[in-house]
Structure 1
């Protein structure tokens, strides 16, 4: 018989397991890196650290010699906002692909900067309608860019970015991809998929500490931003690119400890490889989903629509999210609420980060005790 703690969790582990979709459980080497030495960001040592982080980030995004990355101190949303506000020309427009909370966020970001949009609302339970995208781009030649989320974390849906990019490029348009919760584990490639602008984050599937984000794209495209309007000061991509590429220094004071951790996490991610990390997450997700279904719980999306990073589950009748969160938190697990229209009906579980099969088994054991206390 498995020994359990007073809270009901198997006694073999005392870790707090983060099953929220970022920040994630990190490798001890990443946490240790946060305690790196004090450093001035205008000294050669930081210039070398930043150069290495940028180069590794571009490799992580499957870029080639045409591509580069700009590192920002801020959340993944900062990177998406920097891309949207920096790359859409004056008197042009953005086609927003919205099939979840983060697709809708593209709309909010564009509105905040006075950028005209065409908002394609698809519904949170719907895949991207590629024919509709093609028609809209054909009807309105002023829509120069398309904004899409790769992994829609509100539901766990994976959108077909490569197919969307082919349609956009056939119409002479560029694609801005929010890959914040997918890059590092799900397949996405600057070079192979034709992604024009890729926004990502240091945590989530990269398994670094929160605090940094990045935008990756072509050198030539970053250079061309100098001719476009400045809608932001601190999120101006051309400003950051010029400082990092030519001055070999950040435009503003960066989060140096997060750089240390990001550098370590990138090294571990590149060493493991994207395909191996995807396989590791997939094994965890399958283990989790099998156990959830054995408990009689309903998973939101069809298997072929799900990412390996996140699972959305309907909350059982008679149980509130607050009770679920409190009960699992007492057992050492952090679960996450759904958002907006799904709130109070679904909860979400991540399989990102340095989670183990034992963590999944322990979670299912404690969830079963919560759902079936007798």
Structure 2
């Protein structure tokens, strides 16, 4: 056995914003039996997962979910490509990397957009959203990110949905890194299309994503454009709802794991999970500030699951990543416009207060000495 193997930390703490540290029961579920996806056993598993996913997204008997084998991006793209009609257009609400992603997805599928770019880590101006919808009656949908993980900012998607509905428009919400741990509800907030992922706040394994919406909304896709084959939501909905079978070969082990993770998420409830994540975030942020580090956002704009931190003078992200990885911690660089000056730390998943305490102690040793 090599020295590299023997010196590896026993516990690897994933402080990247997904995939997250999972519960032992979720990891064990990945070793479920081999299964044919065209047999009744998988139909039962898929149906259970769809029903639990809808509840986790705050849906009621009016709603359902389509589960896709893919990353969270696949769900966002499926929603945009399928929901916006042939003569429709998308208002893109952009205050970070993932808001900008709506713009790229729409452009890929030839969908007209109006791009409201507020700037990274800048709160959304609700009045500007209202004005844009009033000025352009051809905008049929609004695309907005709930948790903009490029900065850690939480956007008020419920308020944006109210504005959209006042103008008779629908809203597509990227809830990939919030569903399960932040306040968000299909039924209570009137979210028209919610895109999510198994492997962030729902603490499942990577490989599955989902779109949740009203059953009538899925049925309404029948006459819509077929812009994509694999990500056509109507194709997946009719297969999963009518034939009770997947449209294509699914990631069966990820379904096993997601089934177990959803049981844990529903038993804990989003409020308790939010407080668990927020408690870890408070511990982390207080420790970072004691070390003299600067946080990107003011407290009232931060999500519970992520914190962006300025890289301290005299250090670099590469040095911090290397030193922390050697001690069993995986951190995450910032993206594009923020990459030069910031890095990110997640408090999603099965992290503990002991993990945070040890992380802060290791980080303190790695920081440059201050004069």
SS at match of 1:225: helix
Residue 216 of structure 2 corresponds to which residue in structure 1? 220
Match for residue 175 of structure 2 among 164, 179, 202:
179
What is the distance in 1 between the residues matched to 2:128 and 2:15? 35
What is the distance in 2 between the residues matched to 1:283 and 1:14? 24
- Aligned-pair CA distance for 1:227: 0.7
Residue 194 of structure 1 corresponds to which residue in structure 2? 190
Residue 3 of structure 1 corresponds to which residue in structure 2? none
Structure 1 portions without partners, runs of 5+: 1-5
How does 1:1-374 map onto structure 2 within 5 Å? 14-372=10-368
- The CA deviation string for residues 302-346 of structure 1, in whole angstroms up to 9 with x for no partner, is 000000000000000111110010010001000000000101210
- The CA deviation string for residues 196-241 of structure 1, in whole angstroms up to 9 with x for no partner, is 0000000110000000000000000000001111000000000000
- The CA deviation string for residues 132-181 of structure 1, in whole angstroms up to 9 with x for no partner, is 01111001111000000000000000000110000000000000000000
List 4+ stretches of structure 1 deviating above 3 A.
none
Q: Give me the TM-score of the superposition, normalised by structure 1.
A: 0.96
- Aligned positions, number: 365
- The CA deviation string for residues 86-125 of structure 1, in whole angstroms up to 9 with x for no partner, is 0001121000000000000000000000000000000012
What is the distance in 2 between the residues matched to 1:101 and 1:120? 13
What is the distance in 2 between the residues matched to 1:360 and 1:320? 21
SS at match of 2:68: strand
What is the distance in 1 between the residues matched to 2:117 and 2:318? 30
What is the distance in 1 between the residues matched to 2:238 and 2:339? 42
SS at match of 2:350: coil
